[in-house]
Amino acid sequence: YILVPYIDFYYSSGIIGYAAYFKKPVICTNEGLLSDIVRDFNLGYLAEITPLKLAQIIEDVLDNNFVLKEDSFIDYVKTHNTTAFSVKILDNE
């Protein structure tokens, strides 16, 4: 699991792509661009980022209460990579 408790949740640093590539679910805020990506592609868990909520999520993770399908990561990486990005930019007329 990768914890992504970004305060400025309207941007993505690419950590979601790296996490998906290595098939690691993320735990991130339930607001903004990151939450949309994580929700749409089932790449991890969304939560209000508070100390109590993070503690609960970590407990759930350690108890194996969260299970994600590996296909979610594979699908995301296939469609969100540098080649796909370049094609979209260059073919966009």
Low-confidence ranges of the chain (pLDDT < 70): 8-13, 65-67, 92-93
How far apart CA 13 and CA 5 sit, in angstroms, is 12
* pLDDT value for 49: 79
Supply the DSSP symbol for 19.
H
Residue the block writes with tokens 């949740």: 9
How far apart CA 58 and CA 5 sit, in angstroms, is 13
Q: Provide the whole-model pTM.
A: 0.76
**SS3 at position 56:** helix
Mean pLDDT across the chain: 83
* pLDDT value for 66: 67
15-32-53 Cα angle (round to 5): 80
